[in-house]
Amino acid sequence: MIVGILGLGHVGLPTALGFAENGWSVIGADRDSAKVAQVARGEAPFFEAGVQETLQRHLNSGLLQVTDSIPSAVESCDVLFVCVGTPQGDDGAADLSQLEGVAITIARNLNGYKLIVEKSTTPVRTAERLKRTISRYANGNHEFDVAVNPEFLQEGTALHNFLNPDRVVLGVETERARDLLLELYRPLVARSELAGDNPEDRLIVTDLNTAELIKHASNAFLATKISFINMVGDICEAARADVKEVARGLGMDPRIGPRFLGAGAGFGGYCLPKDLRAFVRIGELNGVDMSLLRAVENVNDERINKLMHKVHEALWVVQGKTIAIWGLSFKPDTDDIREAPSLKVVTRLLDEGAYLRLHDPLALAEFQKEFPEQVGRLEYYDSPYEAAAGADAIVLLTEWRDYLTVDLSQVRDTMEVPLLIDGRNLLDPAAVRSLGFEYHSMGRR
Ligand code: UGA
C-alpha cells in the first residue's frame, strides 16, 4: 500500500514522516514547488522537533518521496490523506476552498479504488461534501471511499504525538475503508499493545460526522480550559490569591486533570483560535446556542487588554520607553507566530511609541517577515541579555525554558529599570523580587 499525503505543512509533513517511520512507502505532495524542493533537499520548511533528522533518514531510505504534482501522487497512491489548510474565512467560518480544490484534483485523476482520508480540521459534515464533490467530478468513473482521521498533533511535539497517539479516531462508512485504516495504523496499535495498553482504549471507529466532531470538540474544550483558568486568574488577582496554586489544586482532581490550566496571555496559534471560531459558526448555523464558546473567545480576546493594562500600570507612560520582549512564538518549541499574542502586543506598543528590543530562541526570522527591523525603534537580538540591555521593562510572552536559566542578576545590572512583566507566569515571583526586580504576573499574588 502506498500512502499519499496531500499538503506538506505542519500536519502533513509530520504525518508523512510518521507513516514512513512505521514502514510504509509514502509520497508527500504539495503544490508549492519551492517547499517541495526544500523538503526534497532534506530541509524541514519549519522547526519541529525530530522532523529534520527523520526527513533526511526517510529520503535516504527511499520510504519518502516528494512531488509538487498532486495528480501524480493521486495516481500512484492507494490511500490519500488530505492535509491542506482550512484557514479562517471572513465570517469566522473555515475557508474550505483548498479542500475543494484537492477534491476536484483527486476526482479528475482517479485510476482505480482510492481511500481519501480527511485529516485537516474541518467543520462537521465536510467529509460528506468532500465525497459529493469527488463523485461529481469523477463522473462515476471509479470507486472510492471517504474517511475521517483527525489529527491531534501539537506543534513542537508533532512527530512524537503521531508515534505515540493518545487516541486514533477513524470515521468510516465502509468495511473496506475501516480495514485499510486499521492496517495502516496497526504498527501504532501494536506498539501500545506492547506497552501493556488495551488498544481499544486508544482506538475509536465511528462515522464521519462523529469523527469530525471529536476533533472540533477537543480543541474547543482545550480552549475552554484555558479561558476558564484565565477567568479564575482574574479573580485570584482581585482576591490576592495565586492562580498557579489554584490550578494545581484543581488539576489534582482526575476528572479535571492538570494540563491546559496555565493562566497568562491566552491561547494563540493556528488551531485553537481558528477552530473555536469555526465551531461557533457551524453551531450557530445549525441553530445551536454557542454562547458558552463565545464567552471562551471573549475571555481570550481580553487577555491582551489585561496584559497591556499591566504594562500601563507598571510603566505609566509607554511613549518613549524601551521595552524588551522575551518570546514571540505562540508557544515554546516552535518558530510559529500565527495568532501569537506577541503580534498584538508588539503592534500596540509600537503604536504607543515604545522602542522595542525583541528576543525569541527560534521565531526571530518569522517575526521579521511581519515586522521588519527599524533601527532604534524595533530591533532583534539573538540573546535575551542583549534584548534586555538598557530596557525600562521586560515583557515575557512565551514560556521558553531558556528564560528559566537566564541569570537575572546579570540582566538587572544592564537594565534601565529592573521591571519584569511575566505574561506566562513562568518565573518564581519571590525569587525574581529577591533579585531586586519589580515583578508582575497574571493572577498571582
Ligand atoms: C492544538 C491542540 O492542543 C492539538 O491537540 C491539536 O491537534 C492542534 O491544536 C490542531 O488542531 O492541530 P497547538 O495549536 O499546537 O495544538 O497548541 P497548544 O499546545 O494547544 O497551545 C495553544 C495555545 O494555548 C498556545 O498559545 C499556548 O500558549 C496556550 N496555552 C496552552 C495556554 O495559554 N495555557 C495552557 O495551559 C496551555
195 compared with 430, residue with greater pLDDT: 430
Q: Which atom of ligand 1 is nearest to the CA of 153?
A: 7
Domain of 381, in residue numbers: 302-440
C-alpha cell at 116: 481519501
Q: What is the mean pLDDT of residues 275-303?
A: 96
User: Within this chain, do residues 46 and 188 fall inside the same structural domain, yes or no?
Assistant: yes
Q: Are 285 and 386 part of one and the same domain?
A: no
Cα gap 122→144, rounded to integer Å: 20
Half-sphere exposure of residue 401: CA atoms within 13 angstroms, side-chain side: 2
The whole-chain average pLDDT of the chain stands at 95
Taking 70 as the threshold, does the pLDDT of residue 238 lie above it? yes
The 8 Å CB, 24+ separation contacts for 381-385 are 381/357, 383/359, 384/324, 384/326, 384/359, 384/411, 385/410, 385/411, 385/414
Q: Which atom of ligand 1 is nearest to the CA of 223?
A: 24
Q: How remote is the CA of residue 230 from the centroid of ligand 1, in Å?
A: 15
Same domain, yes or no: 328 and 266: no
Helices 208-239 and 291-315 cross at an angle (nearest 10°) of 40
- Structural domain includes residue 250: yes
Q: What is the pTM of this model?
A: 0.94
At residue 415 the predicted structure's pLDDT band, cuts being 50, 70 and 90, is: very high
Q: Are residues 292 and 307 in the same domain?
A: no
Whether residue 219 has its Cβ less than 6 Å from ligand 1: yes
The arithmetic mean of pLDDT across residues 246-271, rounded, is 97
From atom 37 of ligand 1, which residue's Cα is the shortest distance away?
260
Q: Does residue 210 lie within any of the structural domains?
A: no
Within this chain, do residues 275 and 397 fall inside the same structural domain, yes or no? Answer: no
In one-letter notation, the amino acid at residue 97 is: S
Residues 16, 22, 24, 26, Cα dihedral to 10°? 10
pLDDT tens digits for range 37-54: 999 999 999 999 999 999
- Range with the lowest mean pLDDT among 112-126, 179-193, 359-373? 179-193
Hey, CA dihedral for 37, 12, 95, 340, is it positive or negative? negative
222 touches ligand 1 (CB under 6 Å): yes
**Which one, of 254, 272, 310, 255, lies nearest residue 424 by Cα?**
310
Same domain, 436 and 370: yes
271 is catalytic: yes
Question: Predicted confidence band at 194 (pLDDT cuts at 50, 70, 90)?
Answer: low
Asked, for residue 211, whether it belongs to a domain, the answer is no
* CA dist., res. 417 & res. 270, Å (int): 35
197: pLDDT strictly greater than 90: no
Q: Residue 47 gets which letter from DSSP?
A: -
The domain tally of the chain equals 3
3-class secondary-structure state, position 252:
coil
Which of these three, 205, 228, 251, is where a domain ends?
Answer: 205
pLDDT tens per residue across span 150-166: 999 999 999 999 999 98
